[in-house]
Each structure stands twice: as C-alpha cells, then as structure tokens.
Amino acid sequence: MKALLRLEDIGPGGYYETTESQLKLRAVADYLYMQKIPFHVAVISRFINPELQYDCTISNPFDPVSVRFVETLQALRTRGASLGIHGYTHQYGQSVSGEGFEFAYPDCLKDCPPDDPKSSLSDSLHIQRSYAYGRFHMALSAFQTAGLRPDWFETPHYAASEVQRKILEACSWLIYENNPHDPTNRQVTYQTAASIVGRTYYVPTPLGYVSSDAVEQDVTRIMNQVSQYEETDLASFFYHPFLEFPYIHIRKYAPPYYEERTPLKRLIHDMLSKERRFVNIQDLIYSFMSSQSV
C-alpha cells in the first residue's frame, strides 16, 4: 500500500521569496526527513510577477534571492527530496507564476499560451523548434546551470494540448501527474512515446490536493478517500507547503518550532495509521518497470 507526497509550486518568488519563508520550507523538509518520508518538490525554475516587475530565475548566480533559493533546494535534496520540473515559468503573458498556465488549453480567454502545429511532430528538428520543447529545454537548462538534477516533469495545472503533450512525452520519460489518456487511473500507467526509453510513465495524484480555501474539507476528504482505496491504488497527493507556514515559528537561538496537528502532519499520520508506506517516485517506477519485464 503505497503513498506519494509532492510539495507543489515551489519557485524563487511569491510564497518562497524571503529568508523566513525558505527557513519554514526547510522546517517542513526536516520534519519529513525525521519521519523517514521521501517527498517530491515541483520546482518553478523562473518566477515572474509582471505587475510587480518581478523576474527571478534559479540560473542567475548574481541574484541573492536566486542563490538563497537554490541553496534551499540543495538542502531539501539532502533531506530526501526528489526535484522535478514544473514548467519553466508556470505562467504566460501577464499572469503570475504558479497561477497562470504555460501550455495551450481549451477555452482560454486571457493570457493564452500558444499551441504547436501538428507539423511539430514530423521529425526531431521540428520538435526542437516547437514552443513546448523550448519551455522544457529552458527549464532543464536552468536546473543544470543551478547545479540541480530534475528527476521528473509536471505540466502546470496538468494542461497541454494534444500536440504539446506528445512533445513533452518525447522530452520526459517520467511525468508526475494524472495521465490525460487515462485520467481516472489510480496506478502507474504509460504511453508509447519518443522518449529515451520509448515510453512515458505517468504517476498520478488521484487524491488531488488541499485547497487554501477549503483546508479542513480537503483534509477530511483525502482521509476518507484513502480509506476506500484498494491496496494497489496509489495514495498520492500534492500539497502547497505555505499552508504549513502559520504553524511554524522561527526562533533566533533555537530551531524553528513546528506545531503538531497541522494539516500536513494530520494527513501523514492518517496515511501511516492506514499502513500506507510513502515511497520515492523513481523507486516506484523502477519497481513497476521490473514487474512489467517479468
């Protein structure tokens, strides 16, 4: 009975810009490490807020905010975090990172990202010239410049057009989101793709997430849903760690004080009480691949 936890929308701006907020993020990671819980961090490598004229990327070694943020990500890695690419900016046009969309999606009315034509799929050269490939490559380059290694990819808001989805599947063999080709599946699935392994594996988050507007309702919902899951279903969810920040108190001459009974801690305790075992996404996938080859 396996569970997965992903910390969502972590970028060098917004909720995670200040020294204090980054210390609180580390406190969350410290707790997970002490509980021996592997976790995953969806990284927005470039944070943009057009209204504030704010633009910070992890690839800038001369920006103190960027340097501090990269050091935080490195600290999370030492605490067991698996880092993933969560788009490049997680926005487009005048939208704010973490809120906006980055790839094309139906019924868009404002700040609409461009789609790629079907001709983009004709050969590798056309793929490399596509908008979707460009965003993926810029994010990957930012990671590499910062000295970080991404383990997986996730589209912002799980949204991309059919053509862009195929391009992104060619770019990454491991995508950490619900499979749009099989959206209700609670287990690992895969698509035939032009990726390095000839397939792209999807690891879903069927339990969804805790909304800042409905924290108690979502915590209760997730607990109830887990009780109804089959043993082979993945108890997988994502969580915005800033929701924990009011419960974490920074002290001058002592480690941060992290209250008990927070939403995240309650979810984790509930999962463990139901004998759900938290796993790393790569271990999960390698185990799945081995079972498929038997």
Question: What are 169-226's pLDDT values in tens digits?
Answer: 999 999 999 999 999 999 999 999 888 889 999 999 999 999 999 999 999 999 999 9
Predicted confidence at residue 1, as pLDDT, reads 87
Instruction: Kindly report, residue by residue over 52-99, the tens digit of the pLDDT.
Output: 999 999 999 999 999 999 999 999 999 999 999 999 999 999 999 999
Tell me: pLDDT of 294 over 90: no
Domain boundaries, the chain: 2-293
- 225's CB contacts (< 8 A; 6+ apart) are 207
Average pLDDT over residues 232-248: 98
By residue count, the chain amounts to: 294
What's the pTM value of the predicted model, to 2 decimals? 0.97
Predicted confidence at residue 191, as pLDDT, reads 93
Q: Given pLDDT bands bounded at 50, 70 and 90, which one contains residue 290?
A: confident
Tell me: pLDDT of 291 over 90: no
**Number of helices followed by number of strands (H, E) in the chain:** 8, 13
CATH of domain 2-293: 3.20.20.370
Tell me: pLDDT of 269 over 60: yes
Q: Which two tokens stand for residue 286?
A: 């390698």
Predicted confidence at residue 205, as pLDDT, reads 98
Tell me: pLDDT of 286 over 60: yes
Predicted confidence at residue 293, as pLDDT, reads 65
Helix (H) or strand (E) holding 174: strand 174-175
Instruction: Kindly report, residue by residue over 75-86, the tens digit of the pLDDT.
Output: 999 999 999 999
Average pLDDT over residues 13-20: 97
Tell me: pLDDT of 235 over 80: yes
Tell me: pLDDT of 160 over 90: yes
Strand 81-85 versus strand 54-57 pairing type? unpaired
Tell me the C-alpha distance between 21 and 250, whole Å.
10
Question: At CB < 8 A and 24+ separation, what contacts does 261-269 make?
Answer: 263/210, 263/215, 263/216, 263/219, 263/239, 264/28, 264/239, 265/31, 266/219, 266/223, 267/210, 267/219, 267/222, 267/223, 267/237, 267/239, 268/5, 268/35, 268/37
Predicted confidence at residue 195, as pLDDT, reads 85
Supply the mean pLDDT for the chain: 96
Q: Which two tokens stand for residue 45?
A: 């490598």
